[in-house]
Every structure is written in structure tokens, then in C-alpha cells.
A and B are shown apart, each in its own frame.
Chain A
Amino acid sequence: MRRTPFRTPATIALALALSLAAGACGGGGKKEAKQQGDSATTATTTAPDKVQGSVASYDLAVGPAGRFMIGMFNEAKGPVGFGTAALSFFFLGEKDATGTPQPGPSATGTYLPLPGSPPPPADASKPVYLPSDQRGVYAADVAFDKPGFWGVSAKVDLGGPQEVKTAFKVAAKHTVPFVGDPAPASQNLTVTTPGAPPEAIDSRASASTLVPDAALHQTTVAQALAEKRPVVLVISTPTYCVSQFCGPVTDVVQALAKDYGNRARFIHIEVWKDYKGQQLNDAAKEWIAKGEDINEPWVFLIGSDGKVAARFDNIVTREALEGLLQKLPPMKS
């Protein structure tokens, strides 16, 4: 039998590691609020002189197509950006990655720069190595038909073909509300919640520092749902984000709230009630802590019907949200 690309010892090892990690952490003991970085949900073959990859998606599961994202970089030359990446997916096994890879879907990943990135170059059609202060991912909508361990081969042309292979886990079901799911009617903390610690409303606030995005902390999800208002909900921890793709997601939503405040309610739920004590805010728990891992940031658009209309894990651009907001009719006051 021909040795397939995913049957390298390193790849099998990392898949096994993920398998073991999932098994070890999924027990019925008391669940700690454990925030994961991107590397905990993915891993990649590593070689300093090659392009490496890191899956940036959260909550991948069997079902309708969802957004798959992978970031690529070369330790010496910098992050890879622009152009497209050819993505091929392979099923590696239900419990580990030792089976024969089974070909799955293919997709073209388009480049998605992190918010705050400088304008693209005149010719953004080809992948290039970026300056080290620029970052982004390649994204494509992909549907997975079975749970377990999957591999992705991402190919880019950087003046010569470069291929990244990495493994990741696909769950049987989403653990974070998906498009079409009813939105949890959270009683999130607001600036008027009696006795709420400022840092639990927004991790940038403290007894001596005001909540910087107070406009996003005026109402609860429950109240907005009761009023049948669309909601843009950002669940994030501006201070304690540990994702390698951390960007100013909360700032993006705050800026949109100023321009589209007549289209939807805008709400920010801080992830942590007490980061040091590993205590999550109850509202954040309702949304993003049903599974084994806690990943953030997330942005949801909730329709006036109370169902999730769109969701964005880890990375969202102003343009993506703006396109959705422009389709909403102005709210009647």
C-alpha cells in the first residue's frame, strides 16, 4: 500500500495526542474553566524551514457547511497572506489517525486578514510572505460528514509549491450555538447590574478604569430577545485573549454599534468573571462552555426570531458583519 501523506509518524502522533487529550479531559469530574489557545485544538508538522499551519476554527462539527480557517507561516520568512490556498480534506479516523486517509471535500481558501490589517497590495492575487506585523487566515466553507480526526492539506504557491498538512478534530455535534439554533436568553451583566464587578463586565475595566465599551453593556440578550430585536453579540475577553489570532474583535463590534445602532442591539459578554480564579461569567458559559474546550472570541448575529442567523469564530471583519447588518431593516423604536 502506498504510504499516504497523513501517515507520517509525527502526524499520527499529534492526532493521537489530540485523541488522548480529548479522552483525558472529557471525564465527568468537575469542569474547570479552561481556555484553549489555537494550538490545543490543532497541531502541525513542524520544520523551521517550511511553511507551517495552524487551524484557527473552533467548534468544527458534522453537519452543514461551516467556516474552516487555517493560518500559515514560515518561522523565518513570516506569515503567509493573500491569494488563495487549495484545501483538501481527509478523514483520518474516528478515535485516532492511524487509519487509511479517506479523501473528503476540497475547497479554495480565500485570504481573510485580521481586523486592523493595512490595505491589500495592488496585486493581492498571489500568496506572499507578509511583514511580521500582519496576520490573517485562509477561510472556506466546508462540510464534514463524520466525526473524528481529519487532516487538511493546504497548498499555496510562494514562488514554488508549498504544502501544509495538519490534523484537527471534528465533533459529532456543535457545542456552541450554530446557525438556526435558538439563542440562549442570557441574563448577561450590564453596567446597571447591581454589584457587578467592572472587570466582569469588561476585562479592561477595573475599580479605577471605566468600562471602555459601555454602549455594548446596556441590555441583556434576554431583554433583546423579548423585544424581538436583532442582536450582534460579541463574546470575548479583550484583556485575557490567548488565541494567536487575537485581534480587536470587540473594537470592531463597538465601532459597528455606532454606525448601525438602529439595526440591532449590540452586546458584549466578557468571558471571565474572574480570570485568575478561572471563573467564567454565567452568560459566557451558556454560549461557549458546553464542550470540552473554551474558545473565544465569538461573534453572533441573532435574528429577530431569536435564532442564530450567523456566527463567527475567532476572526471576523467589519466588512463581514456590515454586510449582514445592511440587510436588516431599521428598527422601530
Chain B
Amino acid sequence: MGRSAFPPTVACVVLALLGTACGSDGKSASGTSSTTVAQVTTSSETTASTAPTTTGPASVTIAGQTVTTARLRSIAAGLCEAATQAATDTSAAEKTFQGKSHDGLHLIARGLQDIDRPASATLLEAKEKVESDFSNHAAGTQVASHLRSLSEVTKSSLARFNVTVDACPAT
């Protein structure tokens, strides 16, 4: 089977994976996906997610994976939720962090590796501070502070993929 026989959506998977594996910064001919520049894969949307209110792409390709912006916003929202919880209940905050944000942060960091390595480092370093807090049973105020910092870094990171999210509400 020749490569040209692949349906366009399948070709996107190929290109996305190639981008992941090789760090290519090229854009696909069909303008669909690469890891370097987050591409809009469907028409814009207005989300009903808890954190953001802005419009943007419905999904983006990060590290070869197509991820809905709703999921990315959920990852960011999880950090705000955890920060709020941390003031009174660090165990609940850790559960929220692990359940809603942790894996997604790894994915974002992986995607950033190829396009902005310092930004990837900043994100992972901010995440490590939070994890270290949980491991060391740090005070709730410190955990909340580090979660808020991580939230800000995540917001900047997602902006690299043309995904906008709101900052955590002021406490």
C-alpha cells in the first residue's frame, strides 16, 4: 500500500508521530499537526470548562497526541482546585493534583521539549516543587503557593500551543 493511500486523518497521525520522534519543526502540508506548532484540527469552539472562557482550537497535537483543549483546560483547572484545597487539606489537594493534572503536565512538558526546552524545564521544575511538597508533607500554605506558581507556568506553557486558560481565581 502506498503512503498516498492513507486517509488524511491517518496521515496526520503519521506526521504527528514523526514530529514526536524526530523533533521536526516542519508543518504538515495539510496544516494539520506537528509537535512544533500547535495546529488547529477542528473549528474553534467556546468551551464550558470550569477554568477558561476564551475561544480557541478544539484540539491540538502535543507530543504526537491529539488532545482536546477541554482536557488541557481541565488539567489547568485541576491545579487551581488543588491550590484551593491545599490550604485546608493537603491530602485532598494531592489527590486532585494526581488525578486531574499530573499526567497531563508530563504530556505538556514532553510536547514543549521539542519547541521550547527551557519552558519544558520550567514546567517540570515547578511540578517537582509541588511533588516534593507532597512527599515532605509541607505546610498547606506552601503547597498552595507552589500549586499556584505551577498553574501560572502551565498557563504559559499552554499558550505555546495556542491554548489559553484563565489564571486561578484570587483567594
Contacts and interface: CB of A to CB of B under 8 A. Distances in A.
Interface in A5-24: 9-10, 12-14, 16-18, 20-22, 24
Interface string B84-127: 00000000000110111011001101100100011011001100
B135 interface: yes
A132 B99 contact: yes
B22 A12 contact: no
Interface in A267-305: 275-276, 278
B151 to A, nearest CB: 18
A244 interface: yes
A197 to B, nearest CB: 14
A218 interface: no
A131 B99 contact: yes
A39 B124 CA distance: 18
B167 interface: no
The residue among B10, B15, B95, B117 with the most chain A CB atoms within 10 A of its own CB is B10
A34 B63 CA distance: 13
Contacts of B64: 39-40, 43
A22 B20 CA distance: 11
Interface size class of A (residues with CB under 8 A): 35 or more
A294 to B, nearest CB: 11
A135 B14 CA distance: 28
Contacts of B110: 37, 39, 242
A20 B106 contact: no
Interface string A20-62: 1110110000001011110110010010000000000000000
Given A133-B95, A242-B113, A14 B17 contact: yes
Contact of B13 (A43, A212, A278): A43
Q: Is the interface of B mostly helix, strand, loop or mixed?
A: helix
Interface stretch (A158-166, A183-191, A233-241): A233-241
B17 A37 contact: no
A37 B111 CA distance: 9
Contact of A24 (B22, B66, B96, B109): B22
B121 A13 contact: no
Nearest to A212: B132
Interface string B1-37: 1010011001101111110111100000000000000
A23 B1 CA distance: 19
A317 interface: no
A25 B22 contact: yes
Interface of A: 9-10, 12-14, 16-18, 20-22, 24-25, 32, 34-37, 39-40, 43, 46, 75, 98, 131-133, 135, 203-204, 212, 238-244, 246, 248, 251, 275-276, 278
